[in-house]
Amino acid sequence: MSAATSDAAAGEGSDPVGKAVPAQVPVPTEVPTLNLANLLTMSRLAMVPLFIAALFAGDGSDTFWRSIATALFAIASFTDQVDGWVARKYGLITDFGKIADPIADKALIGAALIGLSALGELSWWVTIVIAVREIGVTVLRFWVIRHGVIPASRGGKAKTLTQIAAITAYLLPLPESVEIVRWVLMGLAIVLTVVTGLDYVVRAVKLRAAGLRAASGS
């Protein structure tokens, strides 16, 4: 068999009369919105009201309910790591997930911060700074959504993990001797919150500019 014949046999099929036809190229299937990764994301949202109820049970000072609230917060936070891993490993990344995942994070973090501030355990200015950043980033995402989706960055993920660690330290019924640990963790979370917020502004502006250039054909 000649090289040309071998190439044809490898890359093409034949019809009943021996005429070569192009090989069939598999068509990629569309990822369904209702998948395991997105269900984990939605479960995180569903746990937010349960967490709030446990946090305020017993005036927020009952050790048992405080432990339940901390456990719910930890489980909900863990789903944030799991849903991303599942989406990447099994090819379940969707535009819905890119938008819903950070919204679920913000709902959980925001609920915890507001709850702690309402109980007088965290200064309101901390909650306001973080809330303004998170709401602002969400607005930016929808502002440029016609041009594309801004996925969570590594800095954003580090910010979220630091916020989770700081909030967990505040939720746990720990002695006052470890108060400095809470301050350090929350201080680092605030710095990352502001820095990554500015990064999202830059990315949103660049994405919108690129989208406008593409639309104008330049």
Residue corresponding to tokens 């250039």: 213
Q: What is the pLDDT of residue 24?
A: 55
* CA angle at 193 for the pair 187 and 195, rounded to the nearest 5°: 105
Q: Say if residues 124 and 117 touch (Cβ distance below 8 Å).
A: yes
Give the pLDDT score at 9.
Answer: 46
Provide the pLDDT for residue 67.
93
Q: Is 25 left (phi over 0), alpha (psi -120 to 50) or beta?
A: beta
Residues 6+ apart with CB under 8 A from 51: 69, 72, 73, 76, 108, 111, 112
Measure the CA–CA gap between 218 and 215, rounded to whole angstroms.
8
- pTM tops 0.85: no
- Give, for all 218 residues of the chain, the pLDDT tens digit: 544 444 444 444 445 555 555 555 444 567 777 788 888 889 999 999 999 999 999 888 889 999 999 999 999 999 888 887 888 887 878 878 877 888 888 899 999 999 999 999 999 999 999 999 988 888 887 888 777 777 667 788 888 899 999 999 999 988 878 889 999 999 999 999 999 999 888 888 888 888 888 777 75
How far CA 65 is from CA of 50, 139, 197, in Å, comes to 11, 34, 34
Residue 18 DSSP symbol: S
